A and B are shown apart, each in its own frame.
Chain A
Amino acid sequence: MAQTTAEGERPALGHYLKNHLREYGILIALVVIMVFFQVMTDGTLMKPVNLTNLFLQNSYIIIMALGMLLVIVAGHIDLSVGSVAGFIGALAAVMIVNWGLPTVVVIVACLIVGTVIGAAQGYWIAYWRIPSFIVTLAGMLVFRGLTLWLLNGQSVGPFPKGFQLLSTGFVPDLFGPDKPNITAFVLGLAAATAIVIFAFRARARQQRYGIEDEPFVAFAVRNGVIALALAYISWLLATYRGLPNVLITMAVLISAYTFLTTSTTLGRRIYAIGGNEKAAKLSGIRTEWLTFLTFCNMGMLAALAGLIFAARLNTATPKAGVSFELDVIAAVFIGGASMSGGSGKIVGAVIGAFIMGVMNNGMSILGVGIDYQQVIKGLVLLAAVIFDVYNKSKQG
């Protein structure tokens, strides 16, 4: 990447990239994987209809990955999210289809139930110090069982139109019904511009503070790639049906959680707990309370993901959410979170989820059997984590 830079900058750039291999590595990996499947599928991957599908398919994984990142940063794990998502989908179906309750009421009630489920698990983990692995393994079984019980082993559906909009709805075009969808493209451009502006502001601030700054080439390439990708993707989506509602939900949540993890005392304290719980406790941080909160939050996001998944399938099935937890956890670790807690970034988890999503999608298009798909995904996860460990040991 550095061959075109000026003579004097080269060592600095090389040095910088070497030290931040992990952060760039994952972005590069996503780009490489996308290019690979784009070529192998003869361009099917980036077709607007497939791209739209890609977002719809992965939205619930990404949403849960946001919560899982916090859980893992705090030094825990949550195995129950798939079952909880399935349970909430079932609950929503029963409330709407069988009882005829209004959609909005059901959505709010389901989010509250999800939070309560998270709280019930977080209570034992935070205040009784029962390992999260055990508590959430129990939760995984309990809520899978409750899902079966709620649905009587049957699928329940279909949902009313309003509920389906959660997943399959699209943002209407303000500029008229013709294709392309101008609103989608404008919003995409706005997002790309916003990201570039934020990046420049952050860079200016970092330079003012004298943080080891990113060489300009790396900065420009990184943000250029992201901004162009956003613009290009929004254009592609615009030529199909526009922006899916769920993409907006995701964008809002990703921004909110990025802000939470980087700029708030709450987020910073969660990182401190994961980095050294005893030191955090002796520094006056209410470690139990914050651990409890991360699980409440995880429960709420799992509920949201369950609603979106049910809306997408337009039915609640007893199988909904099976093994979602594994995809979510894999996404977070591929995204560079540390197994021992204390480090990891929201953007990393999101990219990790996309890597998994693109591979799923690409391999399915190619007709790779589900058997090989699992093997390959497993190996990618292992490779990502080995890469992490290797990088760390090299840094000493």
Chain B
Amino acid sequence: MTTPILEMRGITKTFPGVKALDNVNLTVLPGEIHAICGENGAGKSTLMKVLSGVYPHGSYEGEIFYEGEAMAFRGIAESEARGIIIIHQELALVPLLSIAENIFLGNENASGGVINWPETYTRTTALLRKVGLTEAPTTPVDKLGVGKQQLVEIAKALSKEVRLLILDEPTASLQENDSQKLLDLLIEFRAQGIACILISHKLNEIRHVADRVTVIRDGATVSTIDCKAEEISEARIIRDMVGRDMASRYPARDVAIGEVLMEVEGWNVWHPEHAERQMIRNVSLNVRAGEVVGIAGLMGSGRTELAMSIFGKSYGRNISGEVRLRGQPVDTGTVPAAIAAGLAYVTEDRKGLGLVLPETILRNTTLSAMQKVSSYGVVDPGAERKVAEGYRAALKIRTPGVFQKVMNLSGGNQQKVVLSKWLFTDPAVLILDEPTRGIDVGAKFEIYGIINDLAAQGRGVIMISSEMPELLGMCDRIYVMNEGAFVGELAKGEASQEKIMSMIVKG
């Protein structure tokens, strides 16, 4: 048997409170395309960061053997020097620089600090030809579409004598024919002896190019399937990806579903910068009083974009479609209008978009509805304090006092402050975007309890989550979203992780 180009043995990586990787093994043979599958948060990206040295040697347990030698990368520069190149989902190109400048950024063809432009352009042209691009090397990168930018990234990798190419969901934002081009390129590289790790959710792609598939779940290797030896069965991969018991429990609730509270019809949204990219395609949804509706989908499927575009057109442009509350069309074109209409949006980015971190719990709690605790624009400190204390008690925010700055709180308590803020606006419908992300198990259970209470009060809840068990445990109905469109709708009884995953990978 050939010596593997890469062997990762017993990799364990712990973050405070979380075991992100638990004894993961991965073997990549020379000149093979090795696919890695797994749910969001399964540990794929963490594993690649360990490999490329983003998490330096010593911050994890286990061994990495590369081309037969034990490796101890302390940074991405060292792994790149050995020919391990990683291309992230979020492209790392400088938009205003030319293709040539980007390809040789940090690695310029220079002597004594003076760049040799003729050589740079000649080499760039050669590299571009290899990836099938005919653009001039002087073209600014922001003039290229996403697909071509992806190819420039690969050309950049080739300029560094790549031996092992890692692609993190390279086709997630590509059109069909661009994806096809990229995959063909990988097959060509394989012929030249370049090994490739392909992280992907798309089973048709994997079937098309992969030699072997490793499935990771909850930070551990579940299985490695040799595609030459056996036919890849989608069912098996899906089962391996999601096949776990419902580990955490969900508080029970009495479901009393009432009339339709909110409807969204024919919702279309385009990307705010790339005008030709449609992010949301003709989405329609509804939520009833007392109902918890889930939106399932992988990262990048457009869930957050959908929510934010509905809430005050906070994302995207050329938004079209209608929002109705209790049957009446309402204006949700600005955030104040959306709040007035009875909407609330709890963001997935708690620190970036949800809280004013240097301010107190009290001030964050009343931020969206300060007029309720003030008269003629003057805040009544007593009334404000009463409100903040009320939510602190009701949501069990653990803090020495409401005058604590929110940046000193744990994730779970911060999330409760965000919820307090929105509850104080007394919304009819709450959109919760990843409400339990980065929150420990105990606090999660409490958040679930709060969500149930909200529904019991007759509010409508839309819950976006990457954790399928959470959706299955909490929701009365689940919409499945993929690539900006709804690809299915499942009632509580019929929903299962396998069904959702297969809707996503087939959709």
Contacts and interface: CB of A to CB of B under 8 A. Distances in A.
Interface of A: 205, 209-212, 263-266, 268-269, 271-272, 275-276, 278-286, 342-343
B363 A268 contact: yes
21 contacts: A205-B381, A209-B385, A210-B403, A212-B401, A263-B378, A263-B379, A268-B363, A268-B370, A269-B370, A271-B356, A272-B359, A275-B356, A275-B357, A275-B358, A278-B352, A279-B352, A279-B355, A281-B314, A282-B345, A282-B353, A284-B338
Contacts of A266: 377
Given A276-B356, A276-B357, A209 B403 contact: yes
Interface in B317-364: 335-336, 338-339, 345, 347, 352-359, 363
Given A265-B371, A280-B356, A284-B338, 12 more contacts: A209-B381, A210-B401, A264-B379, A265-B374, A265-B378, A271-B356, A276-B353, A276-B356, A279-B354, A284-B312, A284-B336, A285-B368
A281 B336 CA distance: 9
B177 to A, nearest CB: 36
B492 to A, nearest CB: 31
A281 B335 contact: yes
Contact of A283 (B357, B367, B379, B381): B367
Interface residues of B, number: 32
B444 interface: no
A283 B421 contact: yes
A286 B336 CA distance: 8
A272 B381 CA distance: 17
A44 B197 CA distance: 78
Choose among B338, B347, B378 the residue with the greatest number of A CB atoms under 10 Å from its CB. B378
A285 B336 CA distance: 7
Contacts of A210: 401, 403
Contacts of A278: 352-353
A282 B339 CA distance: 10
A278 B357 CA distance: 12
Nearest to B335: A284
A278 B351 CA distance: 10
B377 A272 contact: no
Contact of B403 (A212, A283, A286): A212
A286 B378 CA distance: 17
A279 B353 contact: yes
B356 A284 contact: no
Given A268-B379, A342-B358, A284 B314 contact: no
A276 to B, nearest CB: 4
Contacts of B371: 265
Nearest to B355: A279
Contacts of A263: 378-379, 381
Contacts of A283: 335, 367-368, 421
5 tightest CB-CB pairs across the interface, nearest first? A275-B356, A283-B368, A284-B339, A276-B356, A265-B370
Nearest to A286: B336
Nearest to A343: B358
Contacts of B401: 210-212
A265 B366 CA distance: 10
B135 to A, nearest CB: 31
Nearest to B311: A282
Contacts of A284: 312, 335-336, 338-339, 368, 425
Nearest to B385: A209
Contacts of A275: 356-359
B316 to A, nearest CB: 14
Contacts of A268: 363, 370, 379
A66 to B, nearest CB: 18
B314 A282 contact: yes
Contact of B379 (A205, A265, A280): A265
Nearest to B401: A210
B497 to A, nearest CB: 32
B378 A272 contact: no
Contacts of B353: 276, 278-279, 282
A186 to B, nearest CB: 29
A231 B371 CA distance: 39
A272 B356 contact: yes
